[in-house]
Amino acid sequence: MDIVYIRDLRIETIIGIYDWEREVKQTVSLDLEMAHDIRRAAQTDDIQYALNYKSIAKRLIAFIEQSEFLLVERMAEEVAGIVCKEFSVPWLKLRVSKPGALRGSQDVGIIIERGERS
């Protein structure tokens, strides 16, 4: 299976368990690797057969900007569900990070995989 990816999609949102985190927006960064057979899109040069990463990014930005999750784990599960169900993605590797959340580190976060890779 081929991979369509989005790297470092930065979104402002309320995220975190501490009181101060519930009052200010923070940046989260998403990296997505999504399984998709690109052969038909390549043969026809037709967007209708491609995995539309712009549509995926717009959907995730709208969703995350309106969310107020406590944990990145919950956010990751919700994002994975949206991508897999709404965009018919059979396999997804997702990295969600909070840049600057831990002093002395560039970022912290999680990586999950959902679905089956062909």
pLDDT tens for residues 80-118? 999 999 999 999 999 999 987 778 888 899 999 999 876
Calculate what percentage of the chain has a pLDDT beyond 90: 89
Q: What is the pTM of this model?
A: 0.93
Q: Is 34 exposed, middle or buried (0-12, 13-18, 19+ CB in 10 A)?
A: buried
Query: Phi and psi for 98 in degrees, rounded to 5?
Result: -115, 95
Q: Which two tokens stand for residue 16?
A: 């975190």
Distance CA 116, CA 108 (A): 26
Question: Looking at the domain that runs over 3-100, which CATH code has it been given?
Answer: 3.30.1130.10
Which 8-state DSSP code applies to residue 87?
T
**Which positions are annotated as active-site residues?**
98
SS3 21: helix
Which pLDDT score, from 0 to 100, does residue 6 have? 98
DSSP H/E element including 27: strand 26-35
